[in-house]
Structure formats: structure tokens, C-alpha cells
Chains A and B, each alone.
Chain A
Amino acid sequence: MNAETPRALLLALALLSTAPARAAGFAGLGDEAQGFAEPQPGHTLVFPRDHGAHPEFRIEWWYLTANLTDETGKAYGAQWTLFRHARAPHGGEGWDSPQAFVAHAAVTTDALHLFAETRARGGVGQAGVTAAPFRAFIDNWSFSATEPNLSGGTISAIAPRFRYTLALTAEEPLALHGEAGFSRKSESGQASYYYSQPFFSVEGALAIDGAERKVKGRAWMDHEWSSRPLSADQKGWDWFSLHLDSGGELMLFRLRSDKTLPFLSGSFITADGATRMLTRDDIFLEPLEQGLVAGRLLPLRWRVRVASLHLDIETKPLNSQSFMGVGIGYFEGPISFAGAQSGVGYLEMTGY
């Protein structure tokens, strides 16, 4: 599977359903697809239809990570994620709907990492996603388009200690990963549909413990769906989304297997929106320093190289404790990088 998988799905599965004990791969992402639809190469994504939910696929998520600064230049990270998980590809109405949702929201500073989780059943109106106009919501959290084809939108979350409302705008087109949105996740054929809007510029307000500040910055949006994105031996991943100061956007991921070499993949999106797929021989991900996070040893600083781009950078987290302590915990936090290129981005690490 490609990078996409990592982000949401572990949570979706762990929280909504599949028991890790019986599940294969990380958080059950390697389970059999059992009657669910499977991504097919050559399929064409159609928008705005494909912004919406795909209930015939088992898992799906809408993911936004934002690197922000306030008026004093202080750095913040904000995360908003909605996972959908289906118990069955078809099903009834109301409470009988097989769809369930989990959402995570977080804000990060150099000293704080606050997160919240909420869950909902599909079918009754507590959570849902519509394609046109695009709107994803759960409880009082929402992500909705204000412009056609997601070129503008608003995203908000409210948690006991923090809240944010961010306005998003993008001039550039959506970036389709892999082969026109068909993103492979393993050598044995696991795949997902995956596209991003990496070019969002953000303006909005963010409050922590009641103190509100104006923030602005850049955000990366992902939308991915699949039914079996991991192979059974894949236990976790490391995923990067990087906003290069030169204007380009880079997404890289490494799927770790306990049997074979890691599966590496990625996309480079030029400043004018052209996407190029990166292959495993092109990508070098090297942990430089490990640290204790939520009781586990995680690589905190990385050396990232992409040969074809002459890119060689070192990343460091804004807050090394950006850990989402939910059902199955994972690291999701803002990073900055320097070297041949500088910039900011997000790092996600699962399965440690």
C-alpha cells in the first residue's frame, strides 16, 4: 500500500471494529476484503463524486494536517481526521447501517499536544459524508467545501481543551497518487484509491485552554479508501507530508514488514500541481535518533533523501511527544526540515 494507508486506517479499524488479536497486519488492515469492493488499476476518479463516501469499500478517511504560525511567529500543528469503517459492504438503514465513524482532532505546540476522539454510528445522522457539496461531519466537528472541487473549505473541531476553525483555499489542482489515484501498498497487490490537496493555504483561529490566537499556514488534505490496504505481514508505517519552501510538495512512506524489505513509495508534486510518482530505488528513509514517546521507542529525527530530486534533508519534530494516545496509539505531529531544502510538514508513525 502506499503512504496513504498509514494515516487513518489503523485507527479506523482498531476503534471501530476488528480485533487486533484476530486481525492480520497493523490494526487489521491486512484482513480479507470479504465481499467489499477492491481498488482496480485503470479506474478513473470522478470529482466531486469521489470526494464523498464509498460505503462499498471497507475503510476510508478524510485527513487534514496543518502547519500553522500565530502572529508572533510561534509554530502550531493541527490535525483533523474522519475515519469511516464498514462492517459489511451493504446493509440496512438507521441503526442497522453497517457504517461507523471515528474522528481524531489534535493541536500541537512545542510544549503541548492535545488530542480528542469521538465515535459515531452511520445511518442515524450523528456523522456522515456527502460529495456535492462536500461535507464531512461528526458531532460538532466538520469539514465542508466552500468552493467547488474542494478548492476552498472550512474545517473545525471542538474539544474540551482546544478548538479551531480554519478556512482553506487552494489554487492548484488535486494530486492523484500512484497511477491516477490507484496507489499500491505492497508487492502482492494491496492498494487503495488515494488523492490529496497538498496546497491549501490556511487562515483561522485556534484556541487552547480558552486563549484564542489567529493562525495561518499551509495544510495537506488526504482522502483515501480501500478494503484491504495492507498485506498481512505489514506491521506499520512511517509517512511524511512535506511542504518544500521552494513551492513543491512531497509525500513519502515506508511500510515496514516483518518478512520482507520495507515497501517504499511517494509522490512529488511540483509547485504548479504536476504529480510524479516516486519509486523505492529513489527513496532513502533513515532514522537518525530514537526517543521515548508514550512508553515506546520511536525514531524522532530522520534523514530523508530522494535521489531524483537531489533532495537530502533532516527532519525534527516540533514536539517529540506528538502522540495520539487513543485506542491504538500512533505518532502524528508537525515537523520542520532543513538541508538541501527547508520547510515544514507532518510525520506519522504507526505500529511501534
Chain B
Amino acid sequence: MKQFFYTLTTLTSHWRRRPGQFAALFVGLAVATALWSGVAALNDQARRSYDRAAGALGLGGSPSLVAASGGFFAQDAFIALRRAGWKVSPILEGTIRLGDKSYRLLGVEPLTLPKISSNKMPEGDDLNDFLGPPGRALIAPQTLRALGLTEGATPTISEADRLPPLAIARDLAPGMVVVDIGAAQRLLHRPGRLSRLLLAEEPTADAPTLESVIGETLRRVEADEAPELAKLTESFHLNLTAFGLLAYVVGLFIAHASFGLAFEQRLPIIRTLRAIGASLRALSLALVAELTLLALLAGAAGMAGGYLIAAALLPNMAASLEGLYGAELDGALGLAPSWWLSGIGMALIGAAIAAASGLVKTLRLPVLAIAQPFAWREAQRHWLYRQAALAVLALMGAAAALLFGEGMEAGFASMAGLLLGAALALPLPLAAMLRLGERRARGPLAKWFFADALQQLPGLSLALMALLLALSTNIGVGSMVEGFRRTFTQWLDERLVAEIYFEAASDKDAQRITAWLSHREDVAAVLPLCKAKTAIRSTPGSSWPVEIVGAPPHETFSAHFPLLEAHADAWNSIARGDSALISEQHARRLRLALGSTLEIPTPTGDWRVEIVGIYPDYGAAKGQLRVDHDALSSRWPDARRLDYMLRARSETAPEIMLALQAEFGAGVARIIDQAALKQRSTDIFERTFAVTAALDALTLVVSAIALFASLTTLAAARVPQLAPLWAAGVSRRSLALLELARVTLFAGATALVSVPLGLALAYDLVAIVNVRAFGWRLPFHIFPSQWLEVFALALLTAALAALLPIRRLARIAPASLLAVFANER
């Protein structure tokens, strides 16, 4: 024990003498943990929110029956099935407006709910209160807070309707209001209608079949078939996770560099310790204890950092998830114990990875070996070969993932392989460049410059690899985001041509409003949209949910609506009622092309349409079809008919909006003009990529730290190599400038390599990951100005990182340089 203690004290004394090295190691591990755990906290938070939304009352956990053609169905089906022994529970879902936000209204019947769900419902007296009259509207505490209301309030949701008294339900997802089925039918104006039947128990073997009870009006949806939020947002989170991992790897580079150096510099101490009798066991124990301690300390600091990062990014992420997917996140960051464990675990694993090679080397050290730093140059050739071999493996992995993999995971895997392979291969072109320089150089100083740079390459290469990763990610993500921004903006301009968009509170309101608008001379056109939901059968046994939008034939669409490809008279065929436009992502999913035909299940039977155009629908999570208004309307008696577009002269738009609101009040549920709608769409877009941009920037900062750590630790080791030059008459200032030149050269060369790598990355993101994740392909843009920025950024990063070591070199006491000779190493 004593031996262990002294060994540990002796080993850790190293850090006291080299606080800079300790700082680098600590920061490396802490940063790796921080970025990883920050992303993990964000993902956890989102996942919990989805679970609550999907598992709101555990409804997602039960299989259900829905209308075969989508939409609502008569309550009689519920009664008929119950009377036939099917244990089903009725659900009616819809959207209500409270203040200026939409909420999901869920009507349930608590007596028949599946057990998993009824367990979460009020019981006893509370159940009586819930059933009413007047009933209760269950709401999550944070939603109640956000509304600025208290329990018992009965907020108005339209002119005539008020919610039953609000009551808190802790397990409920934010953004959701749960009422009794009867109240839901009243509030949503759907008397006797249902949207879903939950299957509480599987029917017994001798129960009559579904078809024999209710014909083919309902179809069964398995518990996990419904496209839930988690599925929709999967790509978003995979993105975040990829960034978290990248940052983690970059952080590990720093830690690895510092550990390697520390082990090397401690070889003399270790030899001495072994020589005076410290057992290998005590030594290994001490090293592992030191490592664990460091990992725990740095891990804890990292977790704190991760929390701050997550807290800072959460509002943006919440806003973009809500905008894109309608997923409402809990605003307050909640940290699960598993998060702490996984964070500390990642720190420990990271430390172990970073220290493994040093540890093994140290423990294998023969007691009597000469304890001096390895001759780098000697080992360099082997090292280069090994790097090259690993790089080839990584690149082959990338190619394999691309060729044989499916889904966006494969896209990400190929990206990871590409990045890793390129990073590992980086020393090869750098070494070649330096050898070339050495051969071409004239004069001893120039020759020494290249030779010395070549010798330093292994020590710096990890930091340079980190820089390469950061720079190319920067270029790749930058190209994608910028490309997306342009495409998106242009698309918004083309798509949003109407001056005013509004939504009526009810069918009756809609009729009153359109009648009123038809008398106004400043309104050029009122374009009604009707919407329905159904599921398109794809492969046998599976189907995809799709929204169908019906719009009237009008120049607003035929002249402006942006299409990727279309038949020449697409708009005329649509007006005939036998053709449809399909969104790009849905076309990909169903493998449909122009001219394909499609059977759309409707309440009035299947509807066969021809695909006459494919249009981009960026930002939409679900598939969409566009058809003629009247054609849709006649097939879906229950279609939603509340959305309208108004054409008017843009200068009269504000006046019309004011007049509408003054005339109809709450009868107009939502109204927005073109500019505001564009602004809102752009906001969602910006927020989505704010998270990406922040992580991108953080990764760059981490790589700067890596470079700084490597340079600082190298600087001390380099004094012996610089002393002879100084003795030969090269001034300290010149030496410092040469150092600066070398660092700049390395950084510049790395930046040059990062451009093609970044472009490959951007291509992978745009053409593979995005297509697989979102279903849309963006035009691939190139932004040379971005490359210049990145180049400048690389040089600046390198210069900043080199500043301190170089300043120290320029001011080094001549005595220190002389000491090299005095010590006669």
C-alpha cells in the first residue's frame, strides 16, 4: 500500500512540474465529455418528450383500428365491435387553439382504455370529475404554466366553445389536452365520430373477425406502425449524435497527445522507480489510479460543461423540433441518472483509449532500458506505413458502407470512414510535401527547416488530424447549410405567393367568412384548400401515412407552384380530377415516378390517380399529395375545409386582415400574411441549423485547443534540438519565426486537404444522408468564399495556438539553451 502510495505521488508530481500538460490533458478529456454529454442531454430530453407524447397515456403501446381510408368514422363501429366481443376503446383526436398556439386535443373513454393507459387516468372521485359534468381537461403542468393559467380555468377555444376546467396530469406530454370522448366530440364538432379505436386486448380465438363485424371500413395498425415523433425526428437526432461523437473523437486526440507525451517524459522517473524496487503491480495500479482520478475529475468538469451547452442549445432545438415536427419539448432540462453514468463512463473510456498505448509502453519497459524519448525519426517510417494502412482500411469501410449499406446510418458510417481515413492519411501528403521541400531547399537553414518539420510531424499529426476533421466538417456542413438556405429561400418565394393565409375556426365560420370576402372588391381570389389524411399501401402489408391537399385550379398554382418535374399539361390533368402531384420525399419512399399510377384509399372507395408532377416539400416530415379541390372534396365528406389562401394587392393585405379579424374575431383561428409566413419558415430553418452551427464552431475550438496543447508540449521537448542552431548563430527571433512559419505551413497544408474532404462530406450529406433522412435532395452548391474563410480560419487557429509557445521560445533564457550542452544528454 505504501509502495503504491509513493509510486502514485511520484508519478503525479510530474503534473505539478508541467501544469500546461496537465491542463491540456484535462481540457481534452473535459471537452470530449462536455460535447458528448451535451448532445446526449439534448437527445435524452427530446426522447423523453417524445416518449411522453407517444406514450401519452400509453396510447402508442396498443395496436389500434383506424379508418381504412383515413379520417373519421362513426361511433357505431365502436359499439358493434364491443358487442361482438372486441375490447376496443374509442379515441377522438384533433387540434384546438389556445391563445396563439395549437394543442393536440385527445378524447378518451376511461372505462374501456387499455390497462396500461387507464392506470394513468384519474381514479375514484377524480374519475367522476373527469367524466363530468362539467368534466376536466387534463394538461401537463408546464403547459398550464406556459398558458399562464391555473387549475380550474376554462379557457375559450373558439367563439362558442370553452374547455372543461383544467386539471394537472403529471404524466402528460406538453402541448396535449386530454378530455372525455364526449367532450372531445363536442369541442371538435364531431358528434358521433371517432378517429381511432385502441385494442385493449387481442380478440379471443373464437371472436368474429373484424370484417364480419364492420366490413372493411377499419384497418388494424400495429402499435409501432404509426409514424411517431421519435421516428420522424430520428434523423435530426442522428445528426446531433454524429456531431457529439465527432467532438468526442477530437477531444480524445488532445487527451491522447498529452498522455503520450506525459508517459514519454516520465520514462526516466518510471525507470528510477522500478530500479529502486517499485513492483510492476504497484506501478500499474498507480498508473491506473492516476488515470481514473483524472478521468473522474475531467469527466465531472465535462459534465458541467455539457449541461451548460445543452441548456444553451435547448431553446433553439425545441423551437426547431416544434416547427419541423410539431414535437413539443419540455423547456426545462431534466437530467436522468443514466445521463450522469453514461457521461462519466464516456470520460473513463476516453481516458482509457487515450492512455492505452502509453500505458502499455510504460509497463513493458525493461527495467534497465535507456530511459530517453524514442528517436522519432527512426520510428517515423513505420509509423507512416501503419497510418497509411489504417487509412486504407477506414476508406474501404466508407466505400463498403456506401455500396452495401442502406438508410442514413450507412450514410453516416460512410462519412465517418471517410473522415477517419482522410485524417489518418493526412501525414502522408504532409510528409511528401516536406520531403520535396527538403530536396528543393537551398542553404542549411532551409534544409534544416524541412528536416525538422518532418521530424515533428508525428508529434503534431494528431493535432493536425483533429484540425482537419474540424475544418472539413466546417466546409461540409457549411456547404450543405448554405446550399439548403438558398434552395429553401427560393422555394419559399415560389411556393408562398398568396398574400394572406388564414384558417377558419369551424366549417360554419368558413362559410360566413368566404361569403363576406366575396363581396369585397379588394379581394382578387379566395382559394379554399381541403385536406384529408390517408395511408397509401406500398409493399404488401405496409402503408405510408399521407396528407392529401386539394386546391382549386387557379393561376396562383399553375403559374407559380414550384415543381421538380412535371408533365406539360399537369395542371389541366389535375383539374380533371384524375391526376395528382406528389411530394419528392413521398415519391422516393413509394418509388413513384412521373406517369406512375396510385390507388388512394378514400371513404368512398379507392381513387386511381396518375402522378403528373413531383414537387419539393422541404421541411415537411410527412408525405403529401396535391389534387383538385372538388375531386378531393367529393371523395372525403369529412375532409378538413378550414384553410384558405387569399389573393389581393399586397398593399391592401394588412387592411383585409384587420377587417377579417374585426368582423369575425375568434371565427378566424389563424391568419398570417405572406411576409410573416416566410419569416416564420425561415426562422424555423435558422433555428434548426443554429444547433448544427454551434456544434460546428465548438468542434473548431476543440481542434484549436488540440493544436495548442500539442505545440506547448512539443515546445519544451524541442529545446535540445534548437540549442545547436542557436549556438551556430541563428537568433532566437529567427528561430521563433521559423517555428511560426512551420506551424502555418502545417495548418495551411491541412486546410488545403480539408477542402476536397469537406466537399466530399457535403456531397455525402446532400446526396446520401439528407435523401435517406428527409427524402429530399438538394442541389449541390459550391461556395469558394467559404473555403477562403476556412483557410483563413485554419491559419488563424494555428497562429493563435502557436503564439504562446513561440513567444516563450523567442524569450527563452540563453542559459536554458546552454544547459542543453551542459547536461550532455
- Cα A163 to Cα B112 in complex, Å, equals 21
Report B272-291 residues with CB < 8 Å from chain A CB. none
- Contact, CB under 8 Å: A22 / B111: no
Answer whether A124 and B124 are a contact pair too, CB < 8 Å, given A95-B180, A96-B182: no
* Residue contact B85 to A22, C-beta cutoff 8 Å: no
Residues of chain B in range 440-475 having any CB-CB distance to chain A below 8 Å: none
Query: With the chains together, A44 CA to B299 CA distance in Å?
Result: 82
- Known contacts A18-B125, A19-B123; decide if A95 and B79 are in contact (CB<8 Å): no
In this complex, what residue of B is CB-closest to A88?
A: B133
| A121 and B128 contact, CB distance less than 8 A | no
Indicate if the CB atoms of A140 and B111 lie closer than 8 Å. Answer: no
Contacts of A20 in B (CB 8 A): 124
Give residues of chain B (7-22) contacting chain A, Cβ–Cβ below 8 Å.
Answer: none
Of residues 661 through 699 on chain B, the ones whose CB sits less than 8 Å from some CB of chain A are none
Are A87 and B111 within 8 A (Cβ)? no
Flag if A17 contacts B185 (CB, 8 Å): no
User: Which of A22, A137, A140 is the one whose CB lies under 8 Å from B124?
Assistant: A22
Give Cα A91–Cα B192 distance, bound, in whole angstroms. Answer: 18
| B84 near A160: Cβ-Cβ < 8 Å | no
* Pair B124/A19 contact, Cβ less than 8 Å: yes
Please give, as numbers and ranges, the residues of chain B lying within 8 Å of A120 by CB-CB distance.
Answer: 82, 111-112
CB of B102 within 8 Å of the partner chain? no
Q: CB-CB < 8 A to A95: which residues of B?
A: 109, 180-183, 185
Does B507 lie at the interface of the complex (its beta carbon under 8 Å from any beta carbon of A)? no
Question: Within 8 Å of chain B (Cβ to Cβ): is A21?
Answer: yes
What 1/0 flags go to A62-100 for Cβ under 8 Å of B? 000000000000000000000000011001101110101
Q: Which residue of B lies closest to A207 (CB)?
A: B206
Inter-chain contact B124/A87, CB cutoff 8 Å? no
Contact A158 B182 (CB under 8 A): no
The distance from the CB of B624 to the nearest CB of chain A, in whole angstroms, is 34
**B109 and A158 contact, CB distance less than 8 A:** no
Interface string of B210-234 (1 = CB under 8 A from A): 0000000000000000000000000
Closest to B109 in A: A121
Which chain A residue shows the least CB distance to B201? A160
Question: Which residue of B79, B123, B206 contacts A125 across the interface (Cβ within 8 Å)?
Answer: B79
Q: Is B2 an interface residue (CB 8 A)?
A: no
Which of chain B's residues has its CB closest to A161's CB? B204
**CA separation between A159 and B263, bound complex, in Å?**
72
Residues of B within 8 A of A139 (CB): 82-83, 85, 87
**B741 surroundings in chain A (CB, below 8 A):** none
- Residues of chain B within 8 A (CB-CB) of A159 are 204
Task: Knowing A21-B124, A120-B111 are in contact, say whether A94-B182 is a contact too (CB < 8 A).
Answer: yes
A98 to B135 Cα, complex, angstroms = 11
- CA–CA, A92 and B124, complex, Å: 21
Tell me the smallest distance from the CB of A3 to a CB of chain B, in Å: 26
CB of B17 to closest CB in A, whole Å:
68
Total contacting residues, chain B, CB less than 8 A: 30
The residue that A126 contacts in the complex, of B79, B127, B206, with Cβ under 8 A, is: B79
Which chain A residue shows the least CB distance to B191? A94
List the B side residues contacting A96 at CB < 8 Å: 132-133, 182
How far in angstroms is the closest Cβ of chain A from B195? 15
A119 and B84 contact, CB distance less than 8 A: no
User: Taking CB as reference atom, which chain B residue is nearest A159?
Assistant: B204
Quick check: A140 and B84 within 8 Å, CB to CB? yes
Q: Output the least CB separation between B782 and chain A (Å).
A: 61
Closest to A123 in B: B182
Structural contact, B124 and A158, CB atoms closer than 8 A: no
Number of interface residues of A (CB under 8 A): 32
Chain B residues near A125: list those with CB within 8 A: 79, 83
Whether the Cβ atoms of B112 and A17 lie closer than 8 Å is no
B192-210 vs A: 1/0 string, CB under 8 Å?
1000000001001110000
Is B131 part of the binding interface, using a Cβ–Cβ cutoff of 8 Å?
Answer: yes
Inter-chain contact A17/B204, CB cutoff 8 Å: no
Bound form: Cα–Cα A319–B185 in Å: 47
The complex places the Cα of A120 from the Cα of B81 at a distance, in Å, of 13
Shortest CB distance B137–A (Å): 15
> Quick one: CB contact mask for B104-142 with A, threshold 8 Å, 1 for yes?
000001011000000000011111100111000000000
| With known contacts A100-B111, A124-B75, A126-B82, A19–B125 Cβ distance under 8 A | yes
For residues 55 through 93 of chain B, which have their beta carbon under 8 Å from a beta carbon of chain A? 75, 78-79, 82-85, 87
**CB-nearest residue of chain B relative to A126?**
B82
**How many whole Å from A30's CB to the nearest CB in chain B?**
15
CA distance A18 to B78 in the complex (A): 27
Q: How would residues 158 to 173 of chain A score, 1 for a CB under 8 Å from any chain B CB and 0 otherwise?
A: 1110010000000000
How far is A125 from B192 in the complex, measured between Cα atoms in Å? 12
Indicate with 1 or 0, residue by residue over B735-765, a CB within 8 angstroms of chain A CB atoms.
Answer: 0000000000000000000000000000000
Give the distance to chain B from A172, nearest Cβ to Cβ, in Å.
33
- Provide the bound-state CA to CA distance between A163 and B75, in Å: 27
Whole-angstrom distance between the Cβ of B84 and the nearest chain A Cβ = 6
A19 lies within 8 A of B126 (CB) = yes
Residue from A16, A88, A96 with most neighbouring chain B CB atoms (10 Å): A96
Instruction: List chain A residues, Cβ under 8 A from B78.
Output: 124, 126
Residues of A within 8 A of B75 (CB): 124
Least CB separation from A95: chain B residue = B182
A22-B112 contact in complex given A124-B79, A140-B83, C-beta closer than 8 Å = no
- Give the chain B neighbours of A124 by CB distance below 8 A: 75, 78-79
CA distance A88 to B111 in the complex (A): 17
Residues of B553-610 at the interface with A, using a CB-CB cut-off of 8 Å, are none
Q: Which residues of A contact B181 (CB under 8 A)?
A: 95
Contact between A121 and B124, CB atoms less than 8 A apart: no
Question: A16–B127 Cα gap in the complex (Å)?
Answer: 8
Chain A residues closer than 8 Å to B206, beta-carbon distance: 158, 163
Contact indicator A17/B128 (Cβ below 8 Å) = yes
State A160–B204 Cα separation when bound (angstroms): 6
Within 8 A of B (CB), among A203-243: 210
Task: Tell me the smallest distance from the CB of B552 to a CB of chain A, in Å.
Answer: 37
Measured CB to CB, the closest approach of chain B to A211, in angstroms, equals: 13
Most chain B beta carbons < 10 A, residue from A87, A92, A100, A121: A121
Cα–Cα, bound, A163→B205 (Å) = 12
Residue ID in chain B nearest A87 by CB atoms: B128
B111 & A119 in contact (Cβ 8 Å cutoff)? yes
Please report the C-alpha to C-alpha distance between residue A121 and residue B181 in the assembled complex, in whole angstroms.
Answer: 11
Known: A95-B181, A96-B133. A121 touches B111 (CB 8 A): yes
CB contacts under 8 Å to B, within A1-24, are 16-23
CB-based nearest B residue for A210: B205
Neighbour of A158 across the interface among B127, B133, B192, B204, CB < 8 A? B204
A98 and B111 CA atoms in complex are apart in Å by 13
Q: Which residue of A lies closest to B183 (CB)?
A: A95
Q: How far is the CB of A19 from chain B (nearest CB, A)?
A: 2
Please give, as numbers and ranges, the residues of chain B lying within 8 Å of A160 by CB-CB distance. 201, 204
- Measured in the bound complex, the distance between the Cα atoms of B75 and A160 in whole Å is 25
Interface residues of A in 98-149 (CB under 8 A from B): 98, 100, 118-121, 124-126, 137, 139-140
Residues of A near B87 (CB, < 8 A) are 118, 139
Bound Cα distance from A126 to B197, whole angstroms: 14
* Cα-based distance from A26 to B180 in the complex (angstroms): 28
Do B83 and A126 touch (CB < 8 A)?
yes
| Chain A residue nearest in CB terms to B204 | A160
| Nearest CB in chain A: distance from B89 CB, A | 10
Q: How long is the Cα–Cα vector from A126 to B84 in the complex, in angstroms?
A: 10
A18 near B124 with CB under 8 A, answer yes
> How far, in angstroms, from A163 to B207 measured CA to CA in the complex?
12
Can you report 27 residue pairs joining A to B where beta carbons are below 8 Å apart? A16-B111, A17-B125, A19-B124, A19-B125, A20-B124, A22-B124, A23-B124, A92-B133, A94-B192, A95-B109, A95-B181, A96-B182, A100-B111, A100-B131, A119-B111, A119-B112, A120-B111, A120-B112, A121-B131, A124-B78, A124-B79, A125-B79, A126-B78, A126-B82, A137-B83, A140-B82, A210-B205
The 7 closest A-B pairs by CB, nearest first: A19-B124, A95-B182, A140-B85, A119-B111, A19-B125, A125-B79, A139-B82
Given contacts A16-B111, A100-B111, A118-B87, 6 further A-B contacts (CB under 8 A): A17-B124, A17-B125, A87-B131, A121-B109, A126-B78, A160-B204
